[in-house]
Amino acid sequence: MARSNKSMRREAAVPFILKFLATLALIMLLAPVVVVILAGLNAGDHLTFPPKGLSLRWVIAFFQSDAFLPAYLFSLVLAVITMILSTILGTTIALFLARAEFRGKQMMRAFFMAPLMLPGIVLGLALYLFYLSSGLGLVRTMPGLVIGHVLVTCPYVVGTVNAALVGFDISLEEAARSLGAKPFKTFRSITLPVISPGIVAGSVFSFIVSFGQFDVSLFLTPPDSNPLPIALYSSLRYTFEPTAAAAGIFAIFLVVVSMLITAKLTNLRKLANVNFS
């Protein structure tokens, strides 16, 4: 019976112990999410768990909040801009690394990974200092913040596009070119289809990492416009409010929506892959 259904058969091939560990992993990932969602739907006056009944009062409070709603929207804009820039820069860098032959290429790959290895706060502090001393007028500005975000998200794009390029035969491009195709045409019809899962994966990473970014933002945040993680931090320093949990619900909601869109555009299973070597 199982044999007649191909997908059933393959799923049955997952050994029990692996299923058990996978379930454990999912529980571990999702337990705090569930707590926060319930806390955000709390009907009581304070952030309590278990919630005192369910209601939308804190969700409504989130929409009326002067602190959280603008921060949420600001983070959204920031993440979109970061995603676009990172995807473009990261893709071109990955293509360059795949095609160019020079000594120290491996070192260079390692170098593009480096922003992930440094603590975000160090990167933020170093950039803050650099903005000040260079006089580029980037201190406490939106462009200055975007630069920091691009630095920590670009490595993901480089990694995912690079992974998509593994095994890609560059001679295919050469063949197309020798048949008279223009460079751009070659890129569109030969290269792009190969690397597009990597590009999509990289942009999803960029978006999520930028939206949730705390460390890099801490010293680069412009006045009057806080990204959500910073707004939450400044607010929760003073007191834990249910509105913050409601804001958390909407951050998660955003991921769900963006992933549903991505799923419409591409096969989610194919998109994921990273490679830094």
Partner 1 sequence: MSAFLQTIGKPGRSALLAAPGLLFFFIFFVVPLVSLFLLSLDKPSIGNASVQWMFETRNFERFFGRALYYEAAFRSAGLAALVSAITLLLGYPLAFLIAKTTDPRRNTTLMILVLCAMQLDMVIRLFGLMVLMGDVGVINEFLRWAGLIGEQPLALMYNFTGVVVGLVQFSLPFMVLSLVGVIQGINPSLEEAARSLGARRWQTFWKITVPMSMPGILAGLLLVFAISFSSYVVPTLLGGWKVVVLPIHIFQQVAELGKWQFGAAIAVVMFVISFVVMLIYQRAAARASGGRI
Partner 2 sequence: MTKERNKPVGLGRRSLLKGGAAAAVLAGPVSLFNINHVWSKDVMWDGQPFDAGGATIRINEWGGFWQEFMQKTAIDEFEKTYNCKVAYDSSFPWFPKYVAGGPKSPAFHMGNWNLNEIIKLGKVGDFFLSTDELKENLPNAPDCWDFAFGSGLGVTWGFGQYAHVWRTDLVDPAPVGFKSFWEERFDNKRATYITSNGLFMTFFMTAAAEFGSGPDDLKAGFEAMRAAMPMKISDFTGNMQTLVERGEVQMGVQWEGEIFLQMDKGISVAPLTWEKKPILTQTHTVSRYSDPMEKKLALALVNTKLDPVFQNKAAETFYLRPSNKNAKLPERLTSKGVTNTADALDGLWIPDWNWYLDNEDEIVETVNEIFAG
With 0-12 CB in 10 A as exposed, 13-18 as middle and 19+ as buried, what is 20? exposed
Our CA dihedral for 202, 93, 101, 179, rounded to 10 degrees, sits at: 80
Window 157 to 216, contacts with partner 2 (CB under 8 A):
none
Q: Shortest approach of partner 1 to residue 235 CB, angstroms?
A: 9
Cβ nearer to partner 2, comparing 63 with 187: 63
Contacts (CB under 8 A) with partner 2, residues 12-51: 45-48
Q: Which does 55 bind (CB under 5 to 8 A by kind): partner 1, partner 2, none?
A: none
Given candidates 39, 161, 204, 231, which one binds partner 2 under the rule CB under 8 A? 231
Find all residues with CB under 8 Å of 177, minimum gap 6, and list them: 183, 186
**Cβ atoms within 10 Å, residue 214:** 15
3-state secondary structure of 106: helix
For residue 214, what are its two tokens?
């705390």
Between 237 and 276, how does the x/- string for binding to partner 2 read (CB under 8 A)?
xxxxx-----------------------------------
∠ CA 187-192-195, nearest 5°, is: 135
Q: How far is the CB of 224 from partner 1 (least distance, A)?
A: 21
Q: Which residue number, 1 or 17, has a Cβ lying nearer to partner 1?
A: 17
d(CA 268, CA 272): 7
- How near is the Cβ of 273 to partner 1 at its closest, in Å? 3
Q: Name which position in 236, 257, 260, 263 contacts partner 2 (CB under 8 A).
A: 236
Is 128 a binding residue for partner 2 by CB under 8 A? The answer is yes
Rounded to a whole number of angstroms, the minimum distance from the CB of residue 248 to partner 2 is: 15
Cα–Cα separations (whole angstroms), residue 161 to 48, 158, 175: 44, 5, 22
Angle between helices 16-40 and 242-265 (to 10 degrees): 130
- Told to check if 57 binds partner 2 by CB under 8 A, we report no
- Residue 223 interacts with partner 2 (CB under 8 A): yes or no: yes
Shortest distance (Å) from residue 93 CB to partner 2? 21
Q: Shortest gap between Cβ of 60 and partner 1 (angstroms)?
A: 18
User: CA torsion sign, 67 to 72 to 75 to 77?
Assistant: negative
The site for partner 2 (CB under 8 A) is made up of 45-48, 66-67, 125, 128-130, 132-137, 140, 217-219, 221, 223-224, 226, 230-231, 233-241
